[in-house]
């Protein structure tokens, strides 16, 4: 006899579980969530650090969860999830003192509902910034912004938050068939480098695009990002998505969702690793915990975990028939060698004062700020190769965000904390001793000397403390992040959209009543990319629940 019984049992308490659980409960189900670690939220958490009095992200930094249907469906504003909107969007500072700042074309109008509005004056400000380096690229920005406003934005959102199609053609494919979309079909097969040269003539905007593509989906210049990756990267650098900061960090998203779930009766269990999914007569019947407890699932089991963990660890011998030769081949072919990053936080006495701010004052308060050598040949042809050979580049192309400018819960009065991102290699590329050296010495030996070239006050005496997270920490705390891939598997064209995970599964597995939603599935990485919401829509369709 089972120790506990629920209508729905969710394996893993990551961000997809925290989204899906309240939807199932709202539909009238009893729901139990079982998480192996000692906290919920997966990568959507905020920690104390890098020293006492400061708060920093462990993984998820940019959330914009107000755009997710769950924000309104569960009144997450009333559950404590509050966003503030910086006046700037993204920017790039070059080592010669030049810079570009882009401003949000859409701004968060109502933090309570998540409603945003188009701001024409910000589009003009961005145009003027880009026109300083290229009038042609500035006109391209206007053209692409109109396309995003008229077609791309709505289609992109519909693609994320609707049922997966029964064939390989989704909402984004409609854009390729629309002669008015501005997206020619061959674009989906181009590399990042080809796309940069196709759309832009200036080296500055091309470099901005390269670095924005890495942030958006982790693709290097030689990778093929597809239309989803293209629109995502353009949205980053042109600030089409309203920049926003959750007060209290990404932890606030998790806390609000869990609070909403508890009010609907969801029960959450941490330190409760799952040993096995119980399958009888071709149906998922429940789970067996590592402590020996058996949990009955009267209607369904949902795995908020990756494909490899599900198939290799949790399905027993009786499930061999469901793991076909095709599934095995597909699992072997999945690439995990992108999306490894060095992230962390630097606590400082004073914010960086960039040399570029003398001619472009908003640089010092830019929400997403890249620091980049003004060397196109290096960024598009050498930067990534140095990363693969040495673990990180000799000349950093750093992303920084000083959240404490807008969210004073992150740092003590008069002090600030700056989050940073630079790309690196899979765990297996370096010995653990070298990863330990990177954790301990990267900031002082490499990051600060590079940073000082852009902001002369970023010397060691301005630093209070720092912490560096490497792919080792990602892999050790999140088993699905193979080799430290924070997207679970690389976000390349052959592993995006319909092709992500096992094509044809569409969030269902061949085992009846067993579903899967994670970053391994269509929607991919990101807190609000849609896998969990799509999973609920799939379950609702199968069981006749309210949608």
What whole-number distance in Å separates Cα of residue 43 and Cα of residue 461?
A: 31
> Which residue is associated with the tokens 């009955």?
296
Q: What per-residue confidence (pLDDT) applies to 168? A: 67
Contact predicate 339/480, CB 8 Å = no
Alpha carbon 139 to chain centroid distance? 29
Contact predicate 71/114, CB 8 Å = yes
**Helix boundaries (H) for 148-293:** 153-160, 171-176, 192-199, 203-217, 226-237, 251-263
What whole-number distance in Å separates Cα of residue 233 and Cα of residue 215?
A: 8
Task: Sort strands 416-423 and 106-110 into parallel, antiparallel or unpaired.
Answer: unpaired
Q: What per-residue confidence (pLDDT) applies to 124? A: 99
Phi, psi torsion values for 516, nearest 5 degrees: -135, 135
Buried residues in 318-346 as b, exposed as e (16+ CB within 10 A): ebeeeeeeebeebeeebebbbbbbbbbbb
Alpha carbon 143 to chain centroid distance? 27
What whole-number distance in Å separates Cα of residue 539 and Cα of residue 547?
A: 10
> Which residue is associated with the tokens 């960039």?
354
Burial of 88 (0-12, 13-18, 19+ CB in 10 A): buried
Phi, psi torsion values for 412, nearest 5 degrees: -65, 160
- What is the DSSP annotation of 267-282? EEESS--EEEEEEETT
Q: What domains appear along the chain, each with residue ranges and CATH number?
A: 4-43+249-334+488-543 (3.50.50.60)
CB within 8 Å of 521: residues ≥ 6 apart: 500, 501, 505, 507, 531, 535
Contact predicate 46/248, CB 8 Å = yes
CB within 8 Å of 62: residues ≥ 6 apart: 368, 401
Contact predicate 206/100, CB 8 Å = no
Contact predicate 159/170, CB 8 Å = yes
Cβ neighbours, 10 Å, residue 278: 20
Instruction: Quote the tokens at residue 155.
Output: 């289609």
What whole-number distance in Å separates Cα of residue 541 and Cα of residue 535?
A: 10
Q: What per-residue confidence (pLDDT) applies to 277? A: 98
Burial of 280 (0-12, 13-18, 19+ CB in 10 A): exposed
What whole-number distance in Å separates Cα of residue 100 and Cα of residue 93?
A: 7
Burial of 545 (0-12, 13-18, 19+ CB in 10 A): middle
Identify the helix (H) or strand (E) that includes residue 24: helix 15-26
Average pLDDT of adjacent 10-residue blocks, the chain of 547 residues: 95 96 98 97 93 90 89 97 95 98 96 94 99 99 98 88 78 88 94 99 99 96 96 96 90 98 99 97 97 98 95 89 93 96 98 99 97 98 97 98 96 98 98 97 98 98 98 93 95 92 90 94 81 94 89
Q: What per-residue confidence (pLDDT) applies to 281? A: 93
> Which residue is associated with the tokens 């792919």?
471
């Amino acid at each position: 006899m089972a120790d506990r019984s629920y209508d729905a049992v969710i394996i893993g308490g990551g961000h997809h579980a925290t989204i899906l659980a309240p939807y199932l409960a709202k539909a009238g189900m009893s729901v139990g969530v079982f998480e192996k670690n000692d906290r919920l939220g997966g990568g959507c958490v905020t920690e104390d650090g890098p020293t006492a009095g400061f708060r920093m992200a462990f993984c998820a930094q940019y959330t914009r969860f107000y755009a997710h249907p769950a924000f309104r469906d569960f009144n997450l504003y009333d559950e404590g999830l509050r966003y503030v909107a910086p006046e700037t969007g993204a920017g790039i500072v070059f080592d010669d003192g030049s810079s570009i700042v882009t401003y949000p074309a859409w701004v968060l109008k109502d933090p309570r509902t998540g409603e945003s509005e188009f701001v024409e004056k910000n589009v003009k400000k961005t145009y003027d910034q880009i026109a300083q380096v290229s009038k042609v690229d500035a006109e391209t920005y206007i053209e692409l912004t109109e396309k995003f406003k008229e077609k791309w934005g709505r289609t992109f959102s519909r693609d994320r938050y609707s049922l997966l199609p029964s064939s390989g053609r989704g909402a984004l494919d409609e854009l390729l068939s629309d002669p008015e979309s501005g997206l020619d079909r061959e674009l989906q097969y181009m590399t990042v480098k080809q796309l940069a040269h196709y759309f832009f003539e200036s080296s500055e905007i091309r470099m901005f695009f390269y670095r924005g593509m890495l942030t958006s989906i982790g693709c290097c210049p030689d990778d093929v990002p597809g239309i989803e990756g293209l629109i995502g990267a353009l949205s980053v650098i042109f600030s089409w998505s309203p920049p926003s900061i959750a007060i209290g960090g990404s932890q606030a998203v998790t806390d609000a969702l869990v609070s909403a779930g508890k009010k609907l009766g969801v029960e959450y269990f941490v330190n409760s690793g799952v040993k096995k999914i119980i399958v009888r007569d071709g149906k998922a019947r429940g789970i067996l915990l590592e402590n020996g407890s058996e949990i009955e699932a009267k209607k369904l089991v949902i795995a908020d975990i990756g494909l490899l963990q599900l198939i290799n660890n949790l399905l027993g011998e009786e499930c061999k028939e469901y793991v076909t030769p095709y599934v095995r081949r597909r699992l072997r072919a999945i690439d995990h060698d992108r999306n490894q990053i060095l992230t962390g936080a630097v606590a400082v006495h004073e914010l960086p004062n960039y040399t570029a701010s003398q001619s472009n004052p908003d640089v010092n308060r830019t929400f997403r700020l890249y620091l980049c050598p003004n060397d196109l040949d290096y960024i598009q042809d050498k930067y990534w190769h140095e990363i693969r050979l040495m673990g990180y580049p000799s000349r950093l192309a750093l992303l920084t965000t000083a959240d404490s400018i807008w969210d004073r819960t992150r740092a003590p009065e008069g002090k600030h904390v700056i989050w940073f991102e630079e790309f690196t290699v899979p765990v297996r590329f370096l010995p653990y001793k070298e990863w330990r050296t990177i954790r301990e010495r990267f900031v002082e030996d490499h990051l600060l000397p590079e940073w000082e070239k852009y902001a002369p006050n970023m010397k060691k005496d301005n630093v209070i403390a720092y912490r560096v997270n490497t792919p080792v920490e990602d892999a050790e705390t999140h088993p699905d992040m193979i080799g430290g891939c924070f997207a679970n598997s690389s976000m390349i064209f052959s592993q995006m959209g319909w092709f992500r995970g096992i094509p044809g599964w569409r969030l269902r597995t061949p085992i009846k009543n067993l579903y899967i939603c994670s970053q391994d599935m269509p929607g991919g990485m990101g807190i609000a990319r849609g896998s969990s919401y799509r999973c609920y829509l799939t379950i609702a369709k199968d069981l006749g629940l309210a949608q």
